[in-house]
Amino acid sequence: MIQPAGLLTIQGAAAVIRGGGVVAYPTEGVFGLGCDPMNAAAVRRVADVKQRSDAQGFVLISSSLGQLERWVDLGLLSEVARKAILESWPGPITWVVPAKRGAKLPASGGRTGIAVRVTAHRVASRLCEAVGGPIVSTSANPHGAPPARSLTDVLAYFPSGLLDGVVNGKVGINAGPCQIRDALTLAVLRW
């Protein structure tokens, strides 16, 4: 088990994630909790820390569309939907898109769609680059509590030992978590 690491650099956080750990980091509107989306134990740990079920699935963020191609199949979408997605990225909109056939991803919660975003937040994007792929991104808060928007909030919610470290930084200009849309219907699932 990885020992609590306190404040981490982006490279340090990437090493923790690759090693199966859980870190907090700033995103477009709130701090996120992240881990390796392929590591079932790490995904379960994020759910436990948030006090919610991992069956709900988690958002994946990436620094580029290329990091998501292993998991999602934009070819199953209409041209209108593909255009809407590509025009919104990088940016603060998460899309639930069809998973590639045969893709088994613990972070999807067993669903046929995967919630993904190419982040525009500099720190979050650099973290994905350092990890070498997408990471889980769920708001840093216990289920039902307001999302953490500062390092102080993160530390209040998650006392020593619950996380393996935090990447400090400012959240982006969004007032809260990113919007989520359904790529098949273009419907807004969360404002």
- Tell me, what amino acid is at 182? D
Mean pLDDT of the chain: 92
- Predicted confidence band of residue 82 (pLDDT cuts 50, 70, 90): very high
Which residues are within 8 A (CB) of 1 and not within 5 positions of it... i.e. 6 or more apart? none
Residue 114: its H or E element:
strand 113-118
Given a cut of 70, is residue 81 above it in pLDDT?
A: yes
Burial class (CB in 10 A: 0-12, 13-18, 19+), 27: buried
Q: How far apart are CA 50 and CA 63, in angstroms?
A: 24
Residue 111's pLDDT is what?
80
Name the β-bridge partners of 163: none
CB atoms within 10 A of CB 156: 12
pLDDT, average across residues 35-61: 92
- Predicted confidence band of residue 191 (pLDDT cuts 50, 70, 90): confident
pLDDT tens-digit series, residues 108-167? 777 888 999 999 999 999 999 999 999 999 999 999 999 999 999 999 999 878 999 999
- Tell me, what amino acid is at 7? L
Residue 190's pLDDT is what?
87
H-assigned helices in the chain? 10-18, 40-50, 79-88, 122-131, 151-157
Residue 80's pLDDT is what?
97
Domains of the chain: residue spans and CATH: 10-190 (3.90.870.10)
Give the residue, 191 or 177, on which the prediction is more confident: 177
Name the β-bridge partners of 98: 113
pLDDT tens-digit series, residues 3-38? 334 899 999 999 999 999 999 999 999 999 999 999
